[in-house]
Structures are given as C-alpha cells and as structure tokens.
C-alpha cells in the first residue's frame, strides 16, 4: 500500500489499460472530450504555458484527408476508430502567457522571444500534456490508441499552419474485438532509475 | 459522472494537486520511487521504446553539484526538497527495442538507425513518460515540483553523457508551508480543442 491512488484507479489508468487497435462502433461524445479536457488541463506545464492543442477529426471528409498521411499499418484503425484526435504543439503559446502566468508577465519576452526557444518549450510541454491527455482518455473509461507513425509534414499542411506541430495522432473509443496484443515487457527499475 | 475515474482519484492526480515549492523534511524512500515506477512504466510509448531514465539525486555531494545549474529562482527549493530527480531522455533507447518490441525487432534498424530520428523520438516519448511520472508522484501521495529552469548542458555534463538529454528536474516530497500559489488560469476548452 505504498501508493495513495486506489487500486481500481491504478488499474483503470495504468495496469489494466492497453493501447487499443480495434474499437466498437460506440461514438465518443463532445461531452466526454470536454470532461477529459476539464480534468487534464490542471496538470502542470512550465510557466503554465499549456501549449497542447487538440484537433478532433469529426467529419468523414476530414477523416479521408487524414488517413493517407498515416503509416500503412495505422490506416485501418485510424479509418475506423470512433474518434481520432491530432495532438498538436502550439509554437506561439507565448501569446497567452501574460494571462496564464500573471506572476511574471515578462516571461513572454524574457524567455520566449526566439522562435527556437518556443518550439523547444512547446515540444516538451505539449508532449507532457499529451501524456496527461492519454491518461485522461482512460480516465473517461475509453481506450486510447496513440500513434507517432504518420507523415508529420503532411498532417501539418493538411490540417494546421506553420505555427502548429503535430506530435501524436490518437484513436479514441471503446475497445473492440482482439483490441490489443499481450503487453510487451517493461524495463526493470534498475535499468531506468539510478542514484547519485 | 462522465468520467470513470472516481472523484478522489481525480482530486489526487489533477484537481487538488499543485506544483509544490516547499516541502516538509519527511524523506522519500526507495520503496516509494519503486512503487511510482512500477505503476507508470505501463503507460504507452511508441514501439514501447520507453526512453525515460531517472537520476535520483540522493547524496548531499550530488545535490551540491546540481543546485548551481538551476535557475536562481529554483535553487532554494532544489536545495531543500527531500528528493530531487533528473528526468532524462536516453537517445540510445533503440538498443533495447528488440527486447521491448519483439513483434517487430527490425524497428531498431528500420526506424532508428539515424541519431536524429532517435533524438526526436526519445525527446517526445520521454516527455510523455515524464508526464506519466509526474502523475505517478502524485499517485504516491507526494507533491511534485517539476522545473525546466536549469542549464541543460551543465546538468548533462555534470551527471550524464552525450547520449542522455536532461528534460526536467523534479522536486519530490510532502508539501510544506505555503507550498503553492493560487492556481493559475487554464485555457478554455474552445481555446484548445477544435473539430474538423
């Protein structure tokens, strides 16, 4: 009982959850996505910069435009998942900083005047938030199928602009038949954690 | 009740949790860090590549070497937190891929022969795992104080090698007096999520 998080929640978010490759037809509602965001938005980012943006691919037309940019092995599941979301880093997040981090409104100009610094910060912090979002999907009782196998330049050109970098495409829904393979091995604690 | 995750777990991980700036003296045990890792290791990465590495700064001598590399505003809390961890991306994660992703043992050579591709994948996936780890700290009933305000090149030279990139330094412990400011505002759903 070293963890404070109760075992059912541990199972829901981590131990019993798997990346899903097939889904049922049950739709994912706007209300569910709102509930996910309204939970995970509280998790931390540097300077509260909150650079994650989410594009929900809701229409059949948009889905048809997305699928060809996916790696071949990812196309069938991306074509059939109840909902597909593109998780994006907003490289111009600094425009919101005076509102998001009122304790130090100068942060926008002091730390993020350079585009390169913004891209680096947005990439790291939006990826942190992508991790929160994936767990948020599970918190909603849904399965996530996150994928990095896609043509990022193609997805950016198709759905975004130069200021927005796609990081992960994630299928969302209730898991279907044979939704996952047996879990792969994980690294042992001593392979990952060292002390100095 | 749109979420499956029970409200106490929502509070512990997201709603009532805050980035801590002060801590009590209570130590963080090896057993606690093991329990955190043994929970968050299950969350997904691309090809199960699992590039996150964690350096626990346990000794007083190592702490003294770390603090000067932190941004000035981060030094007092880094000097006094019960435990400090450096969260690191292993850019040579591909060596473990044949074990971690046995379904496609060629992935190591097909996708990750180039160092640039490895660095990009390690940066994204280790940041995802850093998000999981921060929530794992909270799952252990502890407060996290993640920081990106440090000299990354200095920390790398002091504690790591050329194959390992420090992403985040995180203070860990029980929150102390006045441990946090009031929470900053979050972006509204409609500022973050769009549909196409």
pLDDT band at A4 (very low <50, low <70, confident <90, very high): very high
- List of domains in chain A: 18-173 (3.40.109.10)
In chain A, residues with a C-beta closer than 8 Å to the C-beta of B123 are 123-124, 127
Mean pLDDT over each residue of chain B, to the nearest integer: 97
Answer whether residue B1 shows pLDDT above 90. no
8 Å CB contact of A121 and B149: no
Half-sphere exposure of B183 (CA within 13 A, CB side): 14
Average pLDDT in the B43-67 region? 98
- B contacts of A58 (beta carbons < 8 Å): 195-196
Given a cut of 80, whether residue A1 has pLDDT beyond it is no
Phi and psi torsions of A41, nearest 5° = -60, -20
* Predicted local confidence at residue B52, as pLDDT: 98
Please tell me the distance in Å from B124's CA to the nearest CA on chain A: 6
Bin A61: left if φ > 0, else alpha if -120 < ψ < 50, else beta.
alpha
pLDDT tens digit sequence for A5-31: 999 999 999 999 999 999 999 999 999
pLDDT in tens, A106-161: 999 999 999 999 999 999 999 999 999 999 999 999 999 999 999 999 999 999 99
Q: What's the mean pLDDT in B100-107?
A: 92
B164 with B53: CB under 8 angstroms?
A: yes
- Between A and B, how many CB-CB pairs are < 8 A? 242
Q: From residue B117, give the alpha-carbon distance in Å to each of A93, A148, B108, B113, B124.
A: 25, 12, 11, 8, 11
Nearest to B125 by CA among A146, A30, A38: A146
The H or E element containing residue B172 is: strand B164-173
Q: Which of B54, B128, B186 sits opposite A50 (nearest CB)?
A: B186
Joined tokens for residue B144 = 């996290």
C-beta separation of A104 from B106 below 8 A: no
What does the alpha-carbon distance between residue A2 and residue A15 come to, in Å, rounded to a whole number? 16
Structural tokens at position A36: 């996910």
pLDDT class of B69 with cuts at 50, 70, 90: very high
A186 CB contacts (<8 Å, ≥6 apart)? B41, B42, B48, B50, B100
CB B44 within 8 A of CB A137: no
pLDDT over 80 (residue B116): yes
pLDDT in tens, A163-177: 999 999 999 999 999
Query: What pLDDT was estimated at residue B17?
Result: 97
Beta bridge partners of B147: B169
Q: What is the pLDDT of residue B123?
A: 98
> What pLDDT does residue B105 have?
86
d(CA B81, CA A7): 28
Two tokens at A122?
């947005």
Chain segment A42-95, per-residue pLDDT in tens:
999 999 999 999 999 999 999 999 999 999 999 999 999 999 999 999 999 999
DSSP category for residue A2? -
What ipTM was predicted for this assembly? Answer: 0.97
Q: What is the mean pLDDT of residues B45-64?
A: 98
Exposed/middle/buried for residue A149 (C-beta within 10 Å: 0-12, 13-18, 19+) = middle
Residue indicated by tokens 């006094």:
B80
- Please write the tens of the pLDDT for every residue from B146-195: 999 999 999 999 999 999 999 999 999 999 999 998 999 999 999 999 99
Distance (Å, rounded) from C-alpha A89 to C-alpha A171?
A: 18
Q: Is residue A154 within a helix (H) or strand (E), and if so which, with residue range? A: helix A152-159
Quick one: pLDDT at residue A149? 96
The Cα A20–Cα A181 span in angstroms is 9
**How close does chain B come to A77, measured CA to CA in Å?**
16
Distances (CA, A) of A19 to A23, A35, B147, B157: 11, 20, 29, 36
Given a cut of 90, is residue A40 above it in pLDDT? yes
Distance CA B166, CA B127 (A): 10
Q: Which of A151, A190, A193 to mutate to test the interface with B (most CBs of B within 10 A)?
A: A193
Residue whose pair of structure tokens reads 């130069």 in the numeric block: A162
Q: What is the pLDDT of residue B95?
A: 96
> pLDDT band for position A105 (50/70/90)?
confident
Distance from CA of B95 to the nearest CA of A (A): 12
SS3 sequence of A138-169: HHCCCEEEEECCECHHHHHHHHCCCCEEEEEE
- For residues A14 and B39, the answer to whether their CB atoms sit within 8 Å is yes
The number of helix segments (H) and strand segments (E) in chain A equals: 9, 5
Indicate whether B131 pLDDT > 80: yes
Closest chain A residue to B42, measured at CA: A14
């Amino acid at each position: 009982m070293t963890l404070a998080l109760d075992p059912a929640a541990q199972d829901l978010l981590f131990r019993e959850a798997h990346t899903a490759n097939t889904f049922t037809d049950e739709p994912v509602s706007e209300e569910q996505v709102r509930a996910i965001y309204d939970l995970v938005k509280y998790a931390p980012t540097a300077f509260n910069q909150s650079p994650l943006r989410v594009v929900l691919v809701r229409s059949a037309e948009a889905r048809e435009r997305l699928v060809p940019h996916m790696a071949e092995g990812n196309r069938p599941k991306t074509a059939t998942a109840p909902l597909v979301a593109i998780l994006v880093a907003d490289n111009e997040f600094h425009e919101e900083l005076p509102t998001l981090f009122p304790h130090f409104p100068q942060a926008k100009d002091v730390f993020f005047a350079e585009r390169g610094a913004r891209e680096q910060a947005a990439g790291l912090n939006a990826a942190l938030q992508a991790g929160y979002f994936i767990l948020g999907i599970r918190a909603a009782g849904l399965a996530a199928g996150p994928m990095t196998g896609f043509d990022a330049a193609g997805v950016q050109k198709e759905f975004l602009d130069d200021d927005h970098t796609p990081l992960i495409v994630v299928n969302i829904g209730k898991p279907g038949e044979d939704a996952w393979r047996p879990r792969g091995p994980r690294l042992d604690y001593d392979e990952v954690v060292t002390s100095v």
